[in-house]
Amino acid sequence: LFYGVHQSSLRQWHCNYTSNHTDQHWDFTQEQFLKSRRYGLCVDSKLQAHECPHTDQRWHLLPDGHLENALSGKCLDVFGSPGDQEGAKVVLWDCEWLNGTDQRWQFTNLGAIRNNLSGLCLNVVNQQGKENTPSLALAACQPDVPKADILWDLTPAGFLKDRRSGKCVDVAGKPGTGKGTDIQLARCEDVHVDTSGRWQLMPDGFLRNVGTESDDKALCVDVAGTTREERKEAGARLFMNVCQANSDQKWEFTPDGFIKNVIGGGEGPGGKPGG
């Protein structure tokens, strides 16, 4: 299918049951991605291969107080050397393990996140034009003032969620992984990542798109060809079409990871020259 090259189109091919290194092995991930086991790429709604979309909102609270981003491996950092001033913005940075780092945090009993070095708390900066994705910075902790502090929950899935707005701690970018990237609040991606490449294998065998591309959402994977014989050929192109019963749109996901066309005689999505 992919030959390591992005944007290769999906086609059907004879199922290769004899090789462990075939590019016909797939996984349906918990995010509803259709992911190639061999190349680690995901299929979008145009049936092309791309880097899989990932959320940058998952965090690990390490035993020493670092908040490590699960995607980039970088840490929640306060801008400055060290960053210990009220109003200092919070960014993504390479993790620092020395004792005097400004990257160690702790949850208070009430749910605020306090920086160990400065004693200041993680707070939201109100900025004109950034109402939907406000930046985060240090502010004085005010546990005795009702609703003064931003209170947080670290969900079991690793999302840092603001109790007040319901938004999550996010790295700017899609995804944000760069050193020095601003940290902000954004709509939580704990349900799904915004992408056209989300799929659902229906009980009746349809491989149906459930992504965000309006032109393709709710359409099904079909086999191109004007005759039945053409649609059964190895190398036949796959495309998105209105879901139809009694068509070549029915697929079976086998236990070993093949996606086999049920009507077309055992063909499956795979990679051959010209794809």
Q: What is the pLDDT along the chain (275 residues), one digit of tens a residue?
A: 333 334 467 888 888 888 777 888 999 987 889 999 888 888 999 998 888 878 899 999 999 999 999 999 999 999 999 999 999 999 999 999 999 999 999 999 999 999 999 999 999 998 777 889 999 999 999 988 877 789 999 999 899 999 999 999 999 987 889 999 999 999 998 666 678 899 999 999 999 999 989 999 999 999 999 888 898 888 889 999 999 988 889 999 999 999 999 876 556 676 443 33
> Using an 8 Å Cβ cutoff, are 219 and 242 in contact?
yes
Indicate whether 18 and 116 sit together in one domain.
no
**Domain finish residue from 126, 159, 189:** 189
What pLDDT is stored for residue 116 in this prediction?
98
Say if 113 falls within a structural domain: yes
Structurally, how many domains does the chain consist of?
2
CA distance 136 to 90: 6
Q: How many whole angstroms from its chain centre is CA 171?
A: 13
* Domain assignment of residue 235, given as a range: 11-53+194-270
| Residues 69 and 128 occupy one common structural domain | yes
Report yes or no on 211 lying in a domain: yes
Measured CA to CA, the distance from residue 68 to residue 57 in angstroms comes to 10
- Residues 32, 72 within the same domain: no
